[in-house]
Amino acid sequence: MASLQPIRGTHDILAEDHRLYRLVTETAYEIAARYGYQEHSTPIFEFTDVFARTLGDTSDIVTKEMYTFEDRNGESLTLRPEYTAGICRMFMSNGMTQQLPLKVFCRGPMFRYERPQKGRQRQFHQIDAEILGVADPLADIEVIALGAHILEALGLTDRVKLELNTLGDKDSRLAYRTRLVDYFNDFRDQLSEESLIRLGKNPLRILDSKDKGDRRLVENAPLMADSMNAFSEDFFEQVKLGLASLDIGYQVEPHLVRGMDYYCHTAFEFTTDTLGAQGAVLAGGRYDGLIETMGGTPTPGIGWAAGVERLSMMVGEAPEAPRPIVVIPVGGEQHAEALIVTQRLRKAGLNVDLGYSGNVKKRLNRANKANAHAVILIGEDEVAKGIVTLRDMETGEQSEAPLASLEEHLARYR
């Protein structure tokens, strides 16, 4: 029988990985809370329509990457490939209109059928922040500032750059779409098959093409800035001024787009050149038309998502595991006493491990490998005297401590 292995594109998250992931997600959660975001969770799977209707039938996620299956009732369900659509569905399902403006923070696993490589897996994890119900550019500035703050707290500011663009309002976008179609129609014989399909359905998606021939055409394609009306120009200017006032540097990237029709105004990505091909670490944009597309009341929204694995790779070193205190019964008769002491110290808020088996020397070696702060030795003499022997594993110094006030003697190891 072949040895069992994780499915391609998935991996076991071991203790060291968890400490690193927790550092990333807890840092993000704590900073988001300062900005007024509250944590919510959506189901790991939804009706397929939640994603198919919102991500669009020309998006790579819908056409190539979603894990979709039928349940026993014949309903088409999809494992969550991204957060935003589910959050908007949550907003509608729970009648949260009265809670606007709503600030949402999420964290959890995503699933996409992609070719695995460094920084890209088929099961991966994201942190996500969204603001619903605010049409003002202040929301765009704040949500970007939140992302920048989290990256700064993780020590990554010097290794990322903020790329920024505007998609304009609906009128500007329609004008831009017309210019793109006119431009790419002159090169139909040079477009990839995929981009030919997009030309008829969603020409902005051509700007995201990875095909080398398409990329050459994109270099000379019309720019969004040339189709902007006065309102859209002013909106973008306010966003840029707000970021500048917060000392958040950015680079305008004129070909940065979001392909869906409900996206508008601000689009942004924090990118890095330290992860090879996977350069985007935190990206988002404004999607004022999404909830309306899903059948809800028109509600403005803006947000971003960031890959936990990618951020963890950039952070690099996991925090050390908590250093325990190890309780070792010297003889078999002291196991019951050691168990009682161990549980008592845990309830007092200390990290305590119990040396289960082997002679005292082996248990001390295991305590040393566990990077223990100290070892508590409980033998027959100690039980009789109502004391324990306390060994500091840094200095090797041993002392006796009364069992009744043991917590006080261990306070320095909290």
Q: What confidence tens digit (pLDDT) does each residue in 274-323 have?
A: 887 668 899 999 999 899 989 999 999 999 999 999 999 999 988 888 89
Q: Does domain 15-169+229-315 have CATH number 3.30.420.40?
A: no
Q: What confidence tens digit (pLDDT) does each residue in 25-77 have?
A: 999 999 999 999 999 999 999 999 998 877 765 555 666 688 899 999 999 99
pTM for the complete prediction?
Answer: 0.89
Q: What confidence tens digit (pLDDT) does each residue in 310-340 have?
A: 999 999 988 888 899 999 888 778 888 989 9
Residues forming beta bridges with residue 271, ordered by sequence position: 161, 280
What angle, rounded to 10 degrees, do the helices at 170-185 and 193-201 form? 140
Share of the chain above pLDDT 70, in %: 96
Q: What is the mean pLDDT of the chain?
A: 90
**What is the model's pLDDT at position 135?**
97
133-137, 209-213, 342-346, 396-400: least confident range:
209-213
Residue 380 pLDDT greater than 70, yes or no:
yes
- Torsion angle, CA of 173/177/183/185, rounded to 10 degrees? 180
Q: What confidence tens digit (pLDDT) does each residue in 155-195 have?
A: 999 999 999 999 999 899 889 989 989 999 888 888 898 88
Looking at residue 273, the DSSP 8-state letter turns out to be S
**What is the model's pLDDT at position 57?**
55
Q: Where are the domains of the chain?
A: 15-169+229-315, 325-413
Residue 381 pLDDT greater than 60, yes or no:
yes
ω before 101 within 30° of 0 (cis)?
A: yes
- In a 10 Å sphere around its CB, with 0-12 CB exposed, 13-18 middle and 19+ buried, how is residue 300 labelled? buried
* Model confidence band, residue 1 (pLDDT cutoffs 50, 70, 90): very low
**What is the model's pLDDT at position 25?**
98
Cβ-contact 382, 360 below 8 angstroms? no
**What is the model's pLDDT at position 119?**
67
**What is the model's pLDDT at position 367?**
87
**What is the model's pLDDT at position 228?**
92
Question: In terms of Cα–Cα distance, which of 125, 128, 126 is closest to 11?
Answer: 125
**What is the model's pLDDT at position 54?**
74
**What is the model's pLDDT at position 364?**
85
Q: Which one is the CATH code of 325-413: 3.40.50.800, 3.40.50.12160, 3.30.420.40, 3.50.50.60?
A: 3.40.50.800
